[in-house]
Chains A and B, each alone.
Chain A
């Protein structure tokens, strides 16, 4: 179970991006590949723990699962694997290790509360809101 350390990595990354932009984060959007070695449910559970006592406390983790996409050398096309148990083209059955997607473990977006950012921008420019 390494999801807690992964969750802490997510929180660190999100906090850093949030403080760079001076925004408050209400949700963190994550792309999670089926080949990342990370379990979604364990990660969701760990996220709440990792957020405690940080500026992200109370925020949500939204996970977009990314299926494994391989390139089939016979069909000459990208294909989505049916199962991790079989690295073969779902159309023609050709074995392939040319993995194009599915290893992602990436914070790709933050949901932020706009008003906070607006206030900060205003205060920085010296104008009182």
Chain B
């Protein structure tokens, strides 16, 4: 038998996802909708946070949400209480959302009628980091009950996100949450990252974060992820 020969091919494995994500980003830009995705571990308070975000933005802005979940539609039911249009993407056994799922889910919606679209990823701090969804801003959530070193355990997802949200601040004292250490962990894996510390339950810190979002909505749109 002959010696094996090498041929160079250079194929990005996620090219298909990236192509769809780019098309989505362009579609979002053309429709003037600002798209925010949320990633976190299960139980970080993502759904409560999103419910409050939708409710509080709604008097002034047109908002909608897509939510990824492995099996149930519980999150969509909870979010529907905000009266915003909500659509569930049930991923089955898949641990993350991909751009094609977002594209599919959006088919019946007129994006021109929206100011903000939120995409809640499946609760998972590993897999979603590899997939661009065409979002303008990626938020990573960690609750005060998860431990200050969460960013150091999952540096890739924190590094891939634009903003960190520290949730459930109403429990900070009870769990002796060390804010300085948490902030240093985030800063270490993602220097210069914007951080909001808040409680969706009591409303503490929500206003500052919502102001930040609305400010971003009004800025000229740049490409957040490459």
A interface residue numbers (CB < 8 A to B): 1-2, 5-6, 9-10, 13-14, 17, 21, 23, 26-27, 29-30, 35-38, 84-88, 95-97, 105-115, 117-118
Is B191 touching A110 in the complex (CB atoms < 8 A)?
no
B21-44 CB mask vs A (1 if < 8 Å, else 0) is: 000000000000000000000000
Interface presence of B47 (CB below 8 A): no
Is B4 touching A111 in the complex (CB atoms < 8 A)?
yes
B interface residue numbers (CB < 8 A to A): 1-16, 94-96, 126-127, 129-130, 152, 155-157, 159-160, 187-192
Of A27, A37, A106, A117, which contacts B157 at CB under 8 A?
A37
B188 CB contacts on chain A under 8 angstroms: 85-88
Is B5 touching A111 in the complex (CB atoms < 8 A)?
yes
Of B12, B95, B159, B187, which contacts A2 at CB under 8 A?
B95
A114 CB contacts on chain B under 8 angstroms: 2-5
- In angstroms, Cα B9 to Cα A27, docked, is 13
A105 with B9: in contact, given A2-B96, A37-B160, A38-B130 (CB under 8 Å)? no
Is B16 touching A9 in the complex (CB atoms < 8 A)?
yes
Is B8 touching A108 in the complex (CB atoms < 8 A)?
yes
Number of A-B residue pairs, CB cutoff 8 Å, is 111
The A interface, classified by DSSP as helix, strand, loop or mixed, is: mixed
B155 CB contacts on chain A under 8 angstroms: 84-85
Told that A2-B130, A5-B94 touch, could you supply 17 new A-B pairs with CB distance under 8 A?
A1-B126, A1-B127, A6-B13, A9-B14, A13-B9, A21-B7, A37-B129, A37-B130, A87-B189, A97-B192, A105-B13, A106-B12, A107-B11, A107-B13, A108-B9, A109-B9, A110-B9
Is B95 touching A88 in the complex (CB atoms < 8 A)?
no
B190 CB contacts on chain A under 8 angstroms: 87, 97
Is A9 touching B13 in the complex (CB atoms < 8 A)?
yes
Least CB distance from A110 to B in Å reads: 5
A9 CB contacts on chain B under 8 angstroms: 13-14, 16
A95 with B156: in contact, given A2-B127, A107-B13, A112-B4 (CB under 8 Å)? no
A109 with B8: in contact, given A6-B13, A6-B130 (CB under 8 Å)? yes
Is A17 touching B9 in the complex (CB atoms < 8 A)?
yes
- In angstroms, Cα B187 to Cα A85, docked, is 10
Is B189 touching A84 in the complex (CB atoms < 8 A)?
yes
- In angstroms, Cα B10 to Cα A2, docked, is 22
- In angstroms, Cα B6 to Cα A23, docked, is 11
